[in-house]
Amino acid sequence: MPELDLTPPAHQNRLSVFFRIILLIPHILVLIVLGIGAFFVTVIGWFAALILGRLPDWIFDFLSSFLGYQVRFNTSAMLLTDRYPPFRLSEPASPEDFPARITIPRPDALNRLAVLFRIILLIPCWIVSTVLTGGWWSICIIWWIVVLIMGRSPEPLWGASTAVLRYEFRYYAYTTMLTSAYPKKIFGDAADPNQAPVSASRPLVLSSGARVLLIVIIVLGALSALTNGLQTGRQDSGGNNPYTNAAARP
């Protein structure tokens, strides 16, 4: 299972929080270019995985590096760190280098049938991903104000946002065939007293407050998706209805 290691910041610079999105514009431009390349590499990887039963090493390395770059950008955009993400594809050597790191175990082989029907298999987790991201971004202005006032991310906010980010990361890792592990554990991991924690997010043990926030995010994301779907359906039906169009003409 792909893992996310994230170290929470003790405090955040309010000035950088205020201008966070503006400061990240250069990274957005880089991600657009990298994303176009990642799309075509993923298509090539799909055919390669069907034939070889695995991803070629260069495809795995590029896509995993792209996901790492995307995760570091999202970590900063979601106010999970005060550090500015570096302009490089390589993984940080340590938490001191950058507090967000990913681990994607290289699979020995991929199930060709699962690769063939990957788009169909993606539908359930795509719905979950859409709901989570839609819910988070629909109230991100509230998170921004809270961090701006307090100068830090409260634990429930940090935990819920980290859970959203981790699921998104696992969703894209599965989409790009970097792993055969289906995305799961939206509400974090179970506490295991026999397992020493690797980082603050591994295992990701959420507090009751973080779980409540996640439920709010899911509800708002579902309502947002439903509302957008209804509006799109009404526009399509109205635009394609000849009687409606005729009645609208003077």
Domain positions in the chain are 3-235
Q: What string of DSSP letters covers 46-111?
A: HHHHHHHSS--HHHHHHHHHHHHHHHHHHHHHTTS-SSPPPS-SSPPSSTTT-SEEEE-PPPS---
| Distance between CA atoms of residues 104 and 106, nearest Å | 6
Predicted structure pTM score: 0.90
Estimate to the nearest angstrom the gap between the alpha carbon of 4 and the chain centroid.
11
Q: What is the mean pLDDT of each run of 10 residues along the chain (250 residues)?
A: 91 93 96 97 96 94 97 96 93 88 92 94 96 93 93 93 97 96 92 85 93 95 84 66 48
